[in-house]
Amino acid sequence: MKVLVAGAGIGGLCLAQGLVRAGIDVRVFEREPGPDSRYQGFRIGLDEPGLAALRECLPHRLHGLLEAVTGPLAGERRVVDQQLNEVRRLGAASGGTAADRHVLRQLLLAGLGDRVEFGRAVAGYQQRADGRVEARLTDGGSAVGDLLVGADGVGSAVRRQLLPGAEVTALPGNALLGRTPLTEPLSGLVPGAGTLVRGADLSLLIGRMEFRRPPRLAAAELAPEVELPDAHSYLRWVAMLPEPLSPEPGAWAEVRDRLLELFDGWHPDLVELVRRSDVGNSSPLTIRYAEPVPHWGTGPVTLLGDAIHAMPPSAGQGANTAFRDAALLCRSLTAVHRGEAELAAAVEEYELRMLERGFAAVAEGLARLAEFTPAR
């Protein structure tokens, strides 16, 4: 069996790791020219099921490194006002793990070698008379496999062809994603699992990414064949504004200065958080989510992660569900590989469970969105 994957994001790579582990032939096509070619790093919170799915796909020899380069995500999530007075508690997070997307992605590339082809975007596909599928690449190339998995994120080219009526909605307003080095004075901003600052015209969601060990050093010691970035602990924050900044600013330095005007009179530590934001790792963010779709007739093309059920970050589940999709699909395909199941039936079973779980998480994220939007 040969599996083609569109997209080397964290979901597609997790699937590829699991398939390689099961002895299944896989090729991954990634649009970006390389793993570092655009800003890739923000903190994601993983829950126990998400982490278990990731571990299930990763080879055992990398489990120690995964533990070393993630961080704790525990304690109270609190809501504060713009002077940092506590307003409310949202409950404690238990058993969570904070991971940096860029570090995770580099870890997930370990050992995949030339199975991952960077700079090769999937344009579409064609079902063949023999039941197989041919993926068409924008560079004019193509590849034939038994299954094509669209793991190509929220703008998925595979989904556009498979489900032309599927809709993705962009949230109105504006979100800005910032990253600020974790320093002693700023660490008090997030004493627990997360802090939400609710201002009248702007709200700020702050999370902490504190690596247990510096990723590059941990890799050198625990798995020297893996190259991890020289990343340092940071605070990740998302500022939600009711309207886009107008006129639209250009570079982050300009965005930051405009944002600072809105922080006039706020607690000095919050002003400092924005002022010290890292120019290379902060950017405006469009929040999009997928409208639910019914199950389609199963064929040699399927979808995974944000490509099918993109959700707002308020769900805290996008990466978790992408990993769970990957592990579930991997289990189904392993059964086919072992001769214990038929491909079409195995993929259909995956799709039904993936759709139910994925769109339940989208709905939950939308229901929680109001908590994160500015008070006025």
List of residues contacting ligand FAD (CB under 6 A): 6-12, 29-32, 42, 44-45, 101, 121-122, 151-153, 155, 157, 177, 238, 285, 305-307, 313, 316-320, 322
Least Å distance, CB 49 to ligand FAD, is: 11
| Omega before residue 247 within 30° of 0, cis | yes
DSSP-derived 3-state class of residue 302: strand
The encoded tokens of residue 289 equal 């989510």
Least Å distance, CB 325 to ligand FAD, is: 8
Specify the residue, 103 or 222, whose C-beta has the smaller distance to ligand FAD: 103
How many angstroms separate the CA atoms of 80 and 196, rounded? Answer: 6
The encoded tokens of residue 365 equal 């994220």
Least Å distance, CB 85 to ligand FAD, is: 26
Specify the residue, 222 or 332, whose C-beta has the smaller distance to ligand FAD: 332
Specify the residue, 212 or 335, whose C-beta has the smaller distance to ligand FAD: 212
Q: What are phi and psi of 257, to 5 degrees?
A: -65, -35
Specify the residue, 218 or 319, whose C-beta has the smaller distance to ligand FAD: 319
Residue nearest to ligand FAD (CB): 9
DSSP-derived 3-state class of residue 39: coil
Q: What are phi and psi of 120, to 5 degrees?
A: -130, 100
Least Å distance, CB 306 to ligand FAD, is: 4
How many angstroms separate the CA atoms of 344 and 330, rounded? Answer: 14
Specify the residue, 222 or 233, whose C-beta has the smaller distance to ligand FAD: 233
Length of the chain: 376
Least Å distance, CB 155 to ligand FAD, is: 6
Least Å distance, CB 46 to ligand FAD, is: 6
Specify the residue, 306 or 351, whose C-beta has the smaller distance to ligand FAD: 306
How many angstroms separate the CA atoms of 322 and 307, rounded? Answer: 9
What dihedral do alpha carbons 172, 42, 56, 226 form, nearest 10°? Answer: 150
